[in-house]
Structure 1
């Protein structure tokens, strides 16, 4: 609900991700299930492919966020430890469009075309699960250091399909299909380092994250493109399934700094972060000859990231000893200078299409303090919008005069509804045990 504005002021075990040094400043170890988030997302598509068509699709499902707990080791009495399982990324973006029979096609008409049927589909699935352990040590009573080591299981899959069947005025038929899919799986490590201070009654923290350290990776793709009915000279059959491909996953180094400033019994949270630049590289490398055989761009999986700064603020507003109101906002500016996506892959003009654009996040909820623990209830809202400039081109040999360039306006909205639990189930039992 604070939208990540807790580098200097995290008070629950989300600190394993945001600032591991904060662990040593916690007074009460507890087992945390922070716990269940329900997500409703909606994509709206206006003026699809340059037409007046409006489409929208929505999805509602439950997503896990974090399960974490703390523990101690007897032979390291001043050291504190925690474990965490975090669903870092989970997304499933799907776009589908079926035209029905059209007397006048929306894009790229064929010579003497009478009617057409078009079926388009794009899908991208992303999963990134983190499993980590955190260590923290108090150098002084008001200053601590910490480290978090996470193992990452990352999977990204993409699929696109384009099918066009057109009938000419002489009853001859032209068929074009382009099916493409790819998969990338990587296993590796993320290391986060943190510092935490308590200066008077103000909490301050800083954290630094190293780039991804790859341990094992695997990638594959399959490309099919067929054209028939134009002429024996222009019809073609292209297929490629090269198997395991050279690939890599790169992430930027980042630095964050934040503070928690008390105002009476309430707290203001401030945060800022910087992400380093990543030079242009190939996330998946096509073997020699595949691009030519399949009419793909030679470097369809090229990525580049610019340096970017984000910021945000949050408020814990004290209402009563058992109730706080939480609100926040944060920026989420995209660092992508070149993006990899399914429309880019099949579009030989390499148009720029980004669903992962600049976001703004807003949060609002309540923190209820009960005898047996804490309950956090609330929601976060995120949104972004962009315009696709694209060219779904049937390669019939006619010159491109630009008339097939089409626009689609895309808007994305996401609501997440959070139920968080903090349950100090061990504290009372430990107090009741004999001193031994």
Structure 2
């Protein structure tokens, strides 16, 4: 296969892979708490573990014994396939396996008769660190203005880092025996970084060297906070919940930006040399998230079965600029101005989930669930790798669908949860067919292709009561 096609397809593959890993335009991709994961997050009305800190803080006051640790080990297998990527019905495949973000939570001591419940939580909404490098060399006619074949070398490096840490606490108040209200306040520390570099070198038959080097990168670090309000209500066999999550409020943050473009063609080329670079720091940053409203219900069919249903509406976020680099000229061409703006925007969407829980025996319960995870990215999003003056932070336009199932095993002193979840999504795109044009730094589009993402999560969880609960039980037995 010619290197020209391979390099372009590598860029294409990395683009979609890094966009999949970020997943900032999908809101239900991550779930927290072993039970909540097996129910695909459809627990706004009936969450019974400390996942309530995230799903509905009001449930903390109506749960009989929320005072236990969530110690869940979650492993992910991600596979990516570009269909017919290189022609002749040949696909490109990529896979990765490793740990997934989880939740650590606990309750804060309060008297047994108190109507107030307090809890804390630390969770990772996103934690991705992905980079890719490729290099190859071969003999071919890569310079159209020069007769004959050239010895050609190409290097590609792409980096994508996304981390979003949430940390905070929850308060719940039991207004009545079957009615409670709650609030979770989260601080958010978000880091974004992307880099895209391309270096091409060609030696022609006259022993003249042409070089093309392009690099653009940025890093963002921002701090903010958001709140989730909750209401929980119990009546007979029905548990019901309502939540509202506020948009993210920015406190402080900054961005660094780097750009360089160096092009030195052979003397036979009609273009002159290009030398351009700019390195900027402490740029102003804005990062937004949508207002959302959730509702859920859990219906108990006797003591054997529970049906869970949840839905959440996410409001539209109008297009805005995350940061803008200061426009700068090319040192070799003072009349040429280079600009860059990283933008974002979100469509309004609604996700829904349904889950079933049934008691097989006193020690074994089963779970099965399904939920949607619709894409909120705008239709006109432009990839960062496209090398244009305006790029979007969101570019993957697939809708995801989640399936989950597993069992809960109850023993004296501990509960064990074993299960798995599956997520998949497909998107279409136009495949580029040539190297970026030096005039606009974009690659022309060719035939349409498709990208398929599959994720398997494997859950191994242990829930252990706090030591003080054991001590209390022992005291009751002794006294």
The 3 A distance-change label for structure 1 pair 256 and 352 is: closer
User: Which string of whole-angstrom CA distances, capped at 9 and with x for unpartnered residues, describes residues 185-244 of structure 1?
Assistant: 111111000011112211111110000011121211111111111548432011110111
Report the 3-state secondary structure (helix = DSSP H, G, I; strand = E; otherwise coil) of the residue aligned with 1:5.
Answer: coil
Question: Is residue 428 of structure 1 aligned with residue 470 of structure 2?
Answer: yes
Distance across 1 between alignment mates of 2:335 and 2:124: 36
Alignment partner of 2:98 out of 58, 61, 70: 61
- Spell out the pairing of 1:297-336 with structure 2 (5 A cutoff): 298-336=339-377
- Indicate the larger mover: 20-29 or 92-101: 92-101
The equivalent residue for 1:174 is 210
Matches for 1:34-113 after TM superposition, within 5 Å: 34-48=71-85, 54-74=91-111, 77-98=114-135, 100-101=137-138, 103=140, 112=147
Match of residue 275 from structure 1: 314
Cα 1:119/1:141, change in 2 over 3 Å: same
**Are positions 1:186 and 2:222 aligned together?**
yes
Q: For residues 127-153 of structure 1, what are the alpha-carbon distances to aligned partners after superposition, in whole Å with 9 as ceiling and x for unaligned?
A: 111111000011111111000011111
Closer, same or farther: CA 276–50 of 1 in aligned 2, 3 Å: farther
Secondary structure of the structure 1 residue equivalent to 2:385:
helix
* Deviations 1:367-399 (CA, angstroms, capped at 9, x unpaired): 111111211111111122223436564444599
Measure the CA separation in 2 of the matches of 1:296 and 1:277.
33
TM-score (norm 2): 0.81
Whole-Å Cα distance in 2 between the matches of residues 62 and 138 of structure 1? 37
Q: What is residue 237 of structure 1 aligned with on the other side?
A: 275
Q: 1:111 to 1:223 in 2, by over 3 A?
A: same
**Partners of 1:201 and 1:306 in 2: CA distance:** 36
Deviations 1:320-345 (A, max 9, x none): 1111111111111111105464313x
Partner of 2:327: 288
- In the alignment, the residues of structure 1 paired with residue 275 and residue 406 of structure 2 have an alpha-carbon distance, to the nearest angstrom, of 57
- The CA distance in 2 between the partners of 1:313 and 1:246, in whole Å, is 42
Give 1:415 deviation, angstroms.
Answer: 1.4
- Count residues in correspondence: 432
SS at match of 2:326: coil
* Contact 1:333-1:357 at 8 Å conserved across structures: yes
1:32 has 2:69 as partner: yes
**Cα distance in 2, alignment partners of residues 4 and 63 from structure 1:** 16
**What residue number does 1:164 align with?**
200
**Distance across 1 between alignment mates of 2:85 and 2:289:** 33
Inter-CA distance 109–148: structure 2 relative to 1 (3 Å threshold) = farther
Distance change (3 Å), C-alpha of 1:403 and 1:182:
closer
Taking structure 1 as the reference length, what is the TM-score of the superposition?
0.88
